[in-house]
Structure 1
Amino acid sequence: MATDYVLVVHGVKHRRADEFNRMVEALLQRVGQTIGLNGRTIKPIPIFWGDLNVQPQATLRQGLEASPQWRKLWMTDFRVSEVIEFAGDAALYLSRHVGAQVVQRFQQMALPALQSAQPDDRLHLVTHSLGSVILFDLLFAARWDDPSLDNDASTRQTRQIVKQLRNALFGLGQTPGQGLPIASVHTLGSPIALFSLLSVTGDSTHDLTKDLRSLLQTLYHQRGKKSLPWYNYMHPGDPLAYPLQGLMPHLMGNAQLYVHLKDVITEHRGLPITVGRLPLLWGGDAHGSYWKSDTVVKTLADALR
């Protein structure tokens, strides 16, 4: 029986692997119930990395709170529970030590499944929040192609793992005509639009365009000249969710012909958002809402059919 692998990468504010795994299982169980019997098996590949940042961020908070001026600042709880969670996770991933550990998690949790895939199997990417940036960086960023990174043994090992991940996917790596093909992409509450600023002034080691364009073009022909579906889900109250449709010409150029990207609003109640309610929506309903969203379940089920 053919398998639909669903690679799920979480974003900020996930610190327990068991909770994340249960959340992924519940989401895909609902997807499976929506699809019904279709002759394919759904197999999740959850990538958990949130625990790597617990101790570094705890040390940072202790240092901030030790300042005699800390309690004079406004919204200290918001700074700790929201701003540090996001900015801290992003900074730690870009650091050499924690970034290498995140790459090792992909090696441990994803590579065995990806490398054992059969010809009729497919891969669906589901990424939340900063997880979108992390996965797209590993798969497409030019910085991993820099041979000067091999001068350091630890960095060389990390770069080799990234190569293995890319080689496991159809359309990437040294043998782009082999590997597991991506069948759909789902970005939940993604700040990828913000990170596109890294390459806005020209060439950048964090630029995703070249390899992403190559993947989309190769997949387009493998799929019988059908565009790859990419759904970008946004809750209106989620300050980390940004549209991508309007950025495609800038990011992809002609490669936008090879992907059907659609921005999807997951909440239509039109509730007004005030500054006072923003921390509540971010920490509760908005940024974490995608895992239980009926819209996400339905759209993901349609992609897996």
Structure 2
Amino acid sequence: MLILFIHGVAEYQVKFAEPLKTLIQKEFSQRRQKLPHFHSGFYADIINNKGKIWNLIHEDLEKFKKENPYINTEDILRGQELRQGFISDFVGDAFTYLNHEKGAKIRKSITEHLEDFIKNHSQETELHIIAHSMGTVILWDMLFSDKFEPSDAALKFRSLINERVKLKSITTMGSPIILFNMLLDIQSEQVKLRCKSQKYPLKWLNIIHSSDMIAYPISSSLEIKADSNLSVTDKFIVDNANNLESSVRQIMNLPAIKTLSDITSINKVLDLGAVAAGAADAHIGYWNCLQTAKLITEHILDDQEKIINLVIKRLEKVPGMTSVFHGVTENIGKTFPGTKNIMDLFNSVHQITEDFTFLDGSGRLRLRDNLAQTPHVTVYDPTYKCQFRGYVGLIHADGLREEIKYIKRRYGKK
């Protein structure tokens, strides 16, 4: 298993993902799962040094101070620390990527990272991508945009994940995709069309800290249907990002504040102050967050569940389903003399309408109609031991058949 990290704004450390990597490794170990291989897709060396911009800004402020010695320059450009830090970092990196030439170089760098990662672990065939902040927008663009030139590295990136490895899951953290897509203009139909070409399901987890003003949910905007090859889930981390935010929220709950007459206005000001106090730490805090590591681990390992188990869970939820022979061995020659196994017995009175194996080799499914045209479905493991058998009445027959068509399309071996 391969896990590729893609960083976001204001990142200048090659080992930016180490804290989250360590937390994920611990989660895998606690679940007694084999540890994945990790790689950090670092591209920040392509981005211009925004320090140069602020050097020029400070020069202008100094000129103004000399010309107006009685005016405090901090009153002219208020919130300089926030401007020079979080806001400047985010806006600067975002506009750098949107520059045609720089954007192409960033996509080329990420593609080269992925190609080297695959080459160094050629025995691995499964890929999971974890992206943060502006990195989620870059990934979104590389995967789904139809505006690239034939020479753009994004197209090679797509061929790598389609031909060399299987992209099984995406995790986005602190993602402003829904905002930047107003510029990129990637339609949900483009996303679904690209995912449809995959021969296996793609799962997408979007993690949002409640105080992260850059991050927003995306599942509704993609309009993903139940039978799609893509599933998208938004998960929220509801917590204070730092001690300052926690302190401001404690003030909001003081009895003295609650008894003031203009409570609505005061609460709005305090709530805004609390969010402002925690916004930057919330946006970068995913890399050090245990809850984030747990969500990612569950997301990735859930994707490892055998298809046979996923199919059985779906069949159990089919309206009108009655399950029988659950977990029974197929060798029943002693009970029914003259039959080698239960398949011979069923085949003698049932017409097989569907028969296919699962993509991962974990089993197979057979659908039969009895003499009354009532459908019976059976799921076997690789040794032909029955793991599930059930049937529905005529009123629910079409529903079961549609479910089997979906299972075959999504999980059946081509």
TM-score category, normalised to shorter length = 0.7 to 0.9
- What residue is the counterpart of 1:151 in the other structure? none
- What residue is the counterpart of 1:214 in the other structure? 193
Letter paired with 2:98 = L
- What residue is the counterpart of 2:2 in the other structure? 5
Asked if 1:304 corresponds to 2:304, the answer is no
Supply the distance in 2 between the matched residues of 1:256 and 1:61 (Cα, whole angstroms).
51
- What residue is the counterpart of 2:283 in the other structure? 287
Describe how 1:1-305 pairs up with structure 2 within 5 A: 4-18=1-15, 20-37=16-33, 40-53=34-47, 55=49, 57-68=50-61, 71=74, 72-114=76-118, 121-144=125-148, 146=149, 156=151, 159=152, 161-170=153-162, 178-198=163-183, 204=185, 207=186, 209=188, 211-219=190-198, 222-223=199-200, 227-249=201-223, 257-268=228-239, 272=249, 274-284=271-281, 286-305=282-301
Q: CA deviation at 1:137?
A: 1.2
Normalising by structure 1, what TM-score?
A: 0.76
Q: CA deviation at 1:182?
A: 1.4
Larger radius of gyration: 2
Q: CA deviation at 1:33?
A: 2.1
1:29–1:120 distance in 2 versus 1, CA, 3 Å: closer
Normalising by structure 2, what TM-score?
A: 0.57
**Could you tell me whether the CA contact under 8 Å between 1:27 and 1:291 is conserved in 2?**
no
- Please state whether the residue corresponding to 1:168 is helix, strand or coil: helix
- Please state whether the residue corresponding to 2:283 is helix, strand or coil: coil
Letter paired with 1:218 = S
Letter paired with 1:216 = C
Indicate the structure with greater helix content: 1
1:58-106: CA deviation from partner (whole Å, max 9, x where unpaired): 1211222222467412112111101110010001112234323322322
- What residue is the counterpart of 2:330 in the other structure? none
**Could you tell me whether the CA contact under 8 Å between 1:24 and 1:46 is conserved in 2?**
no
Which structure has the higher relative contact order (CA within 8 Å, separation 6+)? 1
Q: CA deviation at 1:166?
A: 1.3
1:199-236: CA deviation from partner (whole Å, max 9, x where unpaired): 6xxxx5xx2645532332133xx23xxx4321111111
Please report the RMSD computed on the Cα atoms of aligned residues, expressed in angstroms.
2.7
- Please state whether the residue corresponding to 2:197 is helix, strand or coil: helix
Q: CA deviation at 1:261?
A: 1.3
- Please state whether the residue corresponding to 2:161 is helix, strand or coil: coil
Q: CA deviation at 1:10?
A: 0.9
Letter paired with 1:188 = M
Give unpaired runs (5+ residues) of structure 2.
65-72, 250-269, 302-414
1:261–1:112 distance in 2 versus 1, CA, 3 Å: same
Q: CA deviation at 1:119?
A: 7.8
- Please state whether the residue corresponding to 2:175 is helix, strand or coil: coil
**Could you tell me whether the CA contact under 8 Å between 1:233 and 1:266 is conserved in 2?**
yes
**Could you tell me whether the CA contact under 8 Å between 1:52 and 1:101 is conserved in 2?**
yes
Supply the distance in 2 between the matched residues of 1:208 and 1:116 (Cα, whole angstroms).
35
Supply the distance in 1 between the matched residues of 2:101 and 2:88 (Cα, whole angstroms).
19
**Could you tell me whether the CA contact under 8 Å between 1:136 and 1:208 is conserved in 2?**
no
Letter paired with 1:61 = W
Letter paired with 1:109 = H
Q: CA deviation at 1:50?
A: 2.5
1:52–1:275 distance in 2 versus 1, CA, 3 Å: farther
**Could you tell me whether the CA contact under 8 Å between 1:119 and 1:180 is conserved in 2?**
no
Letter paired with 1:291 = W
For this pair of structures, how many residues does the alignment match? Answer: 264
- Among all aligned residue pairs of Structure 1 and Structure 2, give the percentage whose two residues are the same amino acid: 22
Letter paired with 2:40 = P
Letter paired with 2:228 = L
Supply the distance in 1 between the matched residues of 2:52 and 2:100 (Cα, whole angstroms).
18
1:208–1:43 distance in 2 versus 1, CA, 3 Å: farther
1:60–1:81 distance in 2 versus 1, CA, 3 Å: same
Supply the distance in 2 between the matched residues of 1:246 and 1:229 (Cα, whole angstroms).
15
1:189–1:21 distance in 2 versus 1, CA, 3 Å: closer
Moved more, 179-188 or 209-218: 209-218
Letter paired with 2:215 = A
Runs of 4+ in 1 over 4 A off after TM superposition: 115-120, 208-211, 268-273
**Could you tell me whether the CA contact under 8 Å between 1:266 and 1:293 is conserved in 2?**
no
1:179-209: CA deviation from partner (whole Å, max 9, x where unpaired): 311111111010001112126xxxx5xx264
- What residue is the counterpart of 1:173 in the other structure? none
Letter paired with 2:170 = V
Q: CA deviation at 1:125?
A: 1.4
